[in-house]
Chains A and B, each alone.
Chain A
């Protein structure tokens, strides 16, 4: 009986904890983070239960208040939303475990507020993924956005400014999306995604429908950091505090990408999207530009967080490119990359957080080979994550690129294939550069005095190390198990 209500329960868990944390926080500030972990843990467990239910019995549709569409609002738990939900809730759980000590260092005394905002943001993301109603999606979009603006502004000195710029452009994007929804409502009379997808084939020539699609893509594209609307991302991820960037980076853009999947593949469907204007192809081209641009900019960075931010721009390009291919392999590759990138980026931001926690900075030009002795586990996780980002088997990163490559070949899209190859090489440049610095003595330095023997093991504590280690090991697991995952993903593809 509980299965049919799981979609609502997952979202409501976050609401509940968003209320409990400030309440308990007034009594004792230390309780905030464990409660957040508990909340996200429960949500992750429920997501897993729901996914298993989905695999056994199929989609779950939950109608709020019993009101059927088009009158009522519903949550739709199908393969796509279930998969994304599982990914974001699990990563959030690990990140919130990690956030304990960095949070202590970076925003001591404000924990209840911080974790309550984190819960609200996760509520927003979960709602976006689950909802089956277009306007409801806007509401959850704004919930998550406002919370993330607040979370980003808790950081160094430039953080509020970065958050403000993100606010301006993010809200503008959301408003454009809302306008698009308005156009669709005017034409179809409903806001329910499933109902509307049945009506849209009849309206395919209507120019306002096409405009609506473009508005929605541009609007959500801002949130998904598709080139050229990615401008907010580097500053926001760089100046935010460690727990914020570790929480937002793996999850935020993925949920926006999910919305694009929903709109382009489910709401409109593959044929309709391209009926008037070859939108898929144009989106794909922008994605490719973003991939190359992100990789090139990442190479030029000296600060690790900024480098990872540009890397994120590049990686989200892969996902959008997979979406634009609109064939089963591209779809599977893109979703697998959602999973892979979430795991890899969370791991990488945790590593950066570890370095900032111990060294006080994450400036690459100051890295040296004492890190190898001081932080062996952190650096080992970095090696694993870096190799996976470059895309070497048998780690997870290889397989998403493999399926994306198969998808591009299915469409005879040689340009996209070349972009995948070139960008993997560019990825290798900026990751291996750090590995070189960390694992080998600088050959040009003439410090013969400081021997490696004087440096002691000083790696981070368990609460910071275990989520990072779990994620790094997860990359191996996903790599070896990806046949099973991809089989599920190929099934989800809407013909």
Chain B
């Protein structure tokens, strides 16, 4: 039973971060905080992928002169890392677009509070 919690640290952290991110997106009224929530949500998934790439006693996916490349068990799985490089970049681009939109919203309405904005628009 304890092992259910201690043996799966990575997954629990992923879950906690996911929930924090979702909480931020849904329950926070300030649009910047929603964006932060989004970023945390994306970070949780990145964490998940990176965690599944890990192996016991393995080193990072940079060729080490001492360890031959064919010795696969000594290197982490590089594929998820590669995927996450792309995903992080996507995340950054998304944040960029989000902030641009926030600036546009602020310029037009003068507020970044979701409640006030909804009232303005109706």
Chain A directly contacts chain B within the complex, with at least one CB pair under 8 Å: yes
Bound-complex Cα distance A182 to B79 (A): 11
Bound-complex Cα distance A182 to B44 (A): 12
B31, A175: Cβ atoms under 8 Å?
no
A164, B31: Cβ atoms under 8 Å?
yes
- Residue numbers in B under 8 Å from A142 (CB-CB): 90, 93-94
B31, A186: Cβ atoms under 8 Å?
no
| Most chain B CB neighbours (cut-off 10 Å) among A135, A158, A171, A186 | A171
A160, B86: Cβ atoms under 8 Å?
no
B38, A171: Cβ atoms under 8 Å?
yes
Determine the interface band of chain B, counting residues with CB < 8 A from chain A. Answer: 20 to 34
Q: Does B65 contact A (CB under 8 A)?
A: no
Q: Among B22, B79, B90, B102, which residue has its beta carbon within 8 angstroms of that of A164?
A: B102
A178, B45: Cβ atoms under 8 Å?
yes
B52 CB, nearest partner CB in chain A, Å = 5
- Residue numbers in A under 8 Å from B35 (CB-CB): 168
Q: Does A310 contact B (CB under 8 A)?
A: no
A167, B98: Cβ atoms under 8 Å?
yes
B45, A179: Cβ atoms under 8 Å?
yes
Q: Does A172 contact B (CB under 8 A)?
A: yes
Q: Is the interface of A mostly helix, strand, loop or mixed?
A: helix
Bound-complex Cα distance A164 to B93 (A): 14
A149, B101: Cβ atoms under 8 Å?
yes
B97, A172: Cβ atoms under 8 Å?
no
Q: Does B87 contact A (CB under 8 A)?
A: yes
Bound-complex Cα distance A142 to B87 (A): 9
A153, B104: Cβ atoms under 8 Å?
yes
Q: Does B8 contact A (CB under 8 A)?
A: no
A146, B97: Cβ atoms under 8 Å?
yes
Q: Does B121 contact A (CB under 8 A)?
A: yes
Bound-complex Cα distance A379 to B115 (A): 39
Bound-complex Cα distance A146 to B94 (A): 7
Bound-complex Cα distance A172 to B48 (A): 15
| Most chain A CB neighbours (cut-off 10 Å) among B98, B101, B102, B108 | B101
- Residue numbers in B under 8 Å from A178 (CB-CB): 45, 87
B44 CB, nearest partner CB in chain A, Å = 8
Bound-complex Cα distance A185 to B84 (A): 13
- Residue numbers in A under 8 Å from B97 (CB-CB): 146, 149-150, 167
Bound-complex Cα distance A172 to B43 (A): 11
Bound-complex Cα distance A37 to B93 (A): 27
A175, B45: Cβ atoms under 8 Å?
yes
**A142-B90, A167-B94, A182-B45 in contact; A172/B104 too (CB < 8 A)?**
no
B3 CB, nearest partner CB in chain A, Å = 18
Q: Does B67 contact A (CB under 8 A)?
A: no
Q: Does B76 contact A (CB under 8 A)?
A: no
- Residue numbers in B under 8 Å from A167 (CB-CB): 94, 97-98, 101
A135 CB, nearest partner CB in chain B, Å = 5
Q: Does B105 contact A (CB under 8 A)?
A: yes
B108, A172: Cβ atoms under 8 Å?
no
- Residue numbers in B under 8 Å from A150 (CB-CB): 97
Bound-complex Cα distance A34 to B96 (A): 29
B82-110 contacts to A, CB under 8 A, are 83, 86-87, 90, 93-94, 97-98, 101-102, 104-105, 108-109
- Residue numbers in A under 8 Å from B80 (CB-CB): 182, 185
Q: Among A164, A172, A175, A182, which residue has its beta carbon within 8 angstroms of that of B105?
A: A164
B35 CB, nearest partner CB in chain A, Å = 8
A161, B121: Cβ atoms under 8 Å?
yes
Bound-complex Cα distance A164 to B104 (A): 10
Q: Mark B1-30, 1 if CB is under 8 A from A, else 0.
A: 000000000000000001000100100000
B53-85 contacts to A, CB under 8 A, are 79-80, 83
19 additional A-B pairs beyond A153-B101, A160-B101, A179-B18, beta carbons within 8 Å, are A138-B90, A142-B94, A153-B104, A161-B101, A167-B97, A167-B98, A168-B25, A168-B34, A168-B38, A168-B98, A169-B25, A171-B94, A172-B25, A172-B41, A178-B45, A178-B87, A179-B48, A182-B45, A182-B52
Q: Interface on B for A, CB 8 Å cutoff?
A: 18, 22, 25, 31, 34-35, 38, 41-42, 45, 48-49, 52, 79-80, 83, 86-87, 90, 93-94, 97-98, 101-102, 104-105, 108-109, 117, 121
> What 3 A-B pairs come out closest when comparing CB atoms?
A160-B104, A164-B101, A142-B90
